[in-house]
Amino acid sequence: MKPNWAVAISAGILAFSGMMTLASAERRAGFVFSDPRGIGAEFQLPNPATVSHTIFMNRCAGGCTLTPGSDGTQNQSDIIGNSTRHISQFGGTDAQWNAIVSCVKQTYAPFNVTIVDQRPASGDYHTAIVAGLPSEAGQPSGVLGVSPFSCGYLPNAISFSFANSPLPSSAGHEYADLADACWTVSQETAHSWGLDHKHDPKDPMTYLPSPDPTTLKVFQNQAGSCGEGSPRACNCTYNNSTASMNSYALIMATFGPGTPDSTPPTVSFQLPAASASILPGFSVIANATDNVGISKVELRVDGNLAGTSTVAPFQFTTSTAITQGMHTLELTAYDLSDNTGKATETVQYGQSCTNGGCTDASQVCVAGTCQAGPNTTGGLGSTCTNNSDCVSNSCGDDGTGNKYCVTSCDPATAGACPSGFGCISAGTSGVCWPGADSGGAGGCSTGGNGSSTLMLVGLGLGAMLLTRKRG
């Protein structure tokens, strides 16, 4: 038999009547529990046939009008009291909304739960209102969310996450703080399935902030104390005890496991274009889509991780210490099941050229690009004292008093350096060193095959020391 949930609101205190009913006002502890069995009622799993696996995230476009009652599919709520209430629409941007929806999908990904943001045409579903202010639902200011809470599953309930609330810690609003908004929505929806607060900062059912603000909370598959600011006995009896609650296990028992997602995401470059000419510190913007949701996008430059973005638009700013020449960019998009999609392209720093083909007479051709030459202050082969003296940000020292501005090259590539320079090995890479092609200054030894090799300085040995400016 469907319980008769009734609610009365007085002076900001939520009081519920009816079997196994409790209310939770988020970021403000305090419950009024009127279950005739008292605090500690046994958690009851629902009949699987009565469970809806759909959460409708409602942004209240144009505003929502709610009336008293218990059928959320008919815009009825026990939370609002005895009068009609109007909830203002979500105040953030479409990008902020999509990010919150994607995050909630990620939080519920392990379970057989479908998150939608369009109202289902029929059937049962949970409604998560993500909009408005607490006062519009009859709640005190400072409350970020509220939900009916029983020691069991509540069908067709409405939970509230007041996304338009100003955040006391900043000048922004709840909808602009992805991690906090996702936390609130996840907690409120789960209350309507019988979950209490948990004294675990990694779990969405907590009042405690995350140890790492950049890490999203996920339902923890381990039992832990209930509580807000400090541990307490749980309001419901879970697994024959009020000492602890396992949020993951309770949701899994209610909904079952989610269907494994094997569809990889797609990712592409919005900026820069393939083969584009770039400058140090250039920006990269990625487009990434998935059938469920994107968890993050990574950027690698020449195989090295250059940044991670978790929120669309997926944007990166690269290092200003990039060398001239061709560079390979790689994007890797991860979906909520850790499936990956990749995209690669090459870009060019410096004018493309062949040896001797630079239009600017002050430049020389190195590895296919035009770079500042010996006749330019700080150009290749210029004398230097520090890295900052060189356009390339690299000052080479052969350990015998010779210091020149150098740039990287591949010793295995013929003609990698311009006339008057040779590509000399320096550790795991090479540098263009003046006179090396003819056995001149630089202390190189020329072998019978015309190649030159210098050892990196170590423990005072008089070979070449290549220093690099930190980016």
- The answer to whether residues 345 and 361 belong to one domain is no
- The answer to whether residues 327 and 412 belong to one domain is no
- The answer to whether residues 284 and 386 belong to one domain is no
Name every residue whose Cβ is closer than 8 Å to that of residue 168 and which is 6 or more positions away in sequence: 142
DSSP-assigned beta bridge partners for residue 304: 301
pLDDT score of 467: 35
Which of 349, 375, 394 delimits the end of a domain?
Answer: 349
Q: How many domains does the chain have?
A: 3
CA 198 – CA 221 distance, rounded (Å): 12
Residue 241: band (very low, low, confident or very high) from pLDDT cuts 50, 70, 90: very high
Does residue 28 surpass a pLDDT of 60?
no
**Is 304 part of any domain?**
yes
Question: Is the whole model's pTM more than 0.75, yes or no?
Answer: no
Which region among 200-204, 214-218, 350-354, 406-410 has the lowest average model confidence (pLDDT)?
350-354
CA 436 – CA 392 distance, rounded (Å): 19
Which tops the pLDDT comparison, 370 or 165?
165
Residue 415: band (very low, low, confident or very high) from pLDDT cuts 50, 70, 90: confident
**Is 260 part of any domain?**
no
Residue 322: band (very low, low, confident or very high) from pLDDT cuts 50, 70, 90: confident
**Is 299 part of any domain?**
yes
- The answer to whether residues 160 and 307 belong to one domain is no
Which region among 256-260, 358-362, 457-461 has the lowest average model confidence (pLDDT)?
457-461
Which tops the pLDDT comparison, 75 or 18?
75
Mean of pLDDT values over 137-156:
90
Which of 316, 349, 382 delimits the end of a domain?
Answer: 349
CA 175 – CA 409 distance, rounded (Å): 49
Does residue 453 surpass a pLDDT of 50?
no
- The answer to whether residues 339 and 376 belong to one domain is no
Does residue 8 surpass a pLDDT of 80?
no
pLDDT score of 361: 78
**Is 1 part of any domain?**
no
- The answer to whether residues 303 and 229 belong to one domain is no
DSSP state of 253: H
**Is 121 part of any domain?**
yes
In tens, the pLDDT along 66-118 reads 999 989 899 999 888 899 999 999 999 999 999 899 899 989 988 999 999 99
Cβ burial 429-439 (10 Å sphere, 16+ → b, else e):
ebbbbbbbbee
Which of 207, 236, 255 delimits the end of a domain?
Answer: 255
- The answer to whether residues 342 and 412 belong to one domain is no
Mean of pLDDT values over 327-354:
88
DSSP state of 167: P
pLDDT score of 98: 92
Quote the domain boundaries for residue 242: 6-255
**54 and 123 in contact (C-beta within 8 Å)?**
yes
pLDDT score of 471: 33
**Is 412 part of any domain?**
yes
**74 and 158 in contact (C-beta within 8 Å)?**
no
pLDDT score of 278: 84
- The answer to whether residues 373 and 250 belong to one domain is no
**372 and 407 in contact (C-beta within 8 Å)?**
no
- The answer to whether residues 13 and 124 belong to one domain is yes
- The answer to whether residues 50 and 160 belong to one domain is yes
**Is 261 part of any domain?**
no
- The answer to whether residues 177 and 315 belong to one domain is no
CA 371 – CA 363 distance, rounded (Å): 5
pLDDT score of 438: 39
**Is 400 part of any domain?**
yes
Mean of pLDDT values over 243-263:
92
Which tops the pLDDT comparison, 179 or 111?
111
Tokens describing residue 385: 């004292």
- The answer to whether residues 193 and 305 belong to one domain is no
